[in-house]
Amino acid sequence: MAANRRLTREAVREAIAAGARLVVLPELSTSGYVFESPAEARECAEPASGPSLQGWAEEAARGDAVVVGGFCELGEDGLLYNSAAVVDATGVLGVYRKIHLWDREKLFFEPGHACAPVLATRAGRIGVAVCYDLFFPELIRGLALGGAELIALPANLPRFPQPEERPIEITLAMATAHLNHLFFALCDRCGPERGVEWVGATVICDEHGWPLAGPPAGNGPALVVADCDLSRARDKALSERNDVLGDRRPELYVPDEPTHVA
């Protein structure tokens, strides 16, 4: 835990020194991901008021920045959550508890029971989700409808066999940004952990879905930086007569009766 606090704090410091006003860290960056037991996960947990997030806030104060990072949260109810915090120089602005748990996460964490948030920060209107949430377009569209200009997604993406093209998670990030006409910042783990290899799919996409930076070469620690004019995400026009949100017809998206085709 002490080493992770040092690494994440140094990463935030490096990013702010490079001019970043919004810094995104990976999922569960304070604890690691591959727990052997619920007891080990609990040993790695801390409340939102704990030293890890306090350290991020202290670093954020160096550059009037905002930090979004994943941490193993010990809730006030005594349960563990896979959470992402949004922090600035004033402290913790908000905590999102991941609602879609992946595989063995269900052995350690309680799923969140609140909607993913959109927070008005000094860096812009930031929507927050975590890793597997990316696979649920309803959640991401909800953030877009909530006014998000950028979605920050801390992630730990395990590597699976796939063709030697860009990782599918990069494609998902690009498509998500394009379909919702907003910026997208995905921060993934790199390297191995207890036999699990991480994709290292860190990428920043513009509001059209095109990568501005990332993924980094190789699979080691890296700082990925891009200039993003988040005000451009407020314009949802696709053409003179089309709007990505205004053209929605949600009343027609769910059939009244299941349709079976022989």
Gyration radius from the chain CA atoms: 18
Q: Quote the CA–CA distance of 21 and 227 in Å, as a whole number.
A: 10
Beta bridge partners of 81: 73
How many residues does this entry show for the chain? 262
Residues contacting 160, CB < 8 A, separation 6+:
none
Active site residue 43: no
Active-site residue flag, 131: yes
Contacts of 82 (CB under 8 A, 6+ apart): 27, 28, 70, 72, 73, 97, 98, 101, 105, 109, 130
Query: Among 27, 46, 73, 207, which one carries the catalytic annotation?
Result: 27
68 bridge partner residues: 24, 86
Catalytic residue among 131, 187, 190, 228: 131
DSSP codes joined into one string, 190-224: -SEETTEEB----EEE-TTS-EEE-PPSTTS----
**The 211-213 sheet, strands edge to edge:** 118-121, 124-128, 150-154, 183-187, 203-205, 211-213
Q: Which of 46, 59, 73, 98 is catalytic?
A: 98
Does the annotation mark 98 as catalytic? yes
Q: Put residue 80 in one of left, alpha, beta given phi > 0 → left and psi -120 to 50 → alpha.
A: beta
Catalytic residues: 27, 98, 131
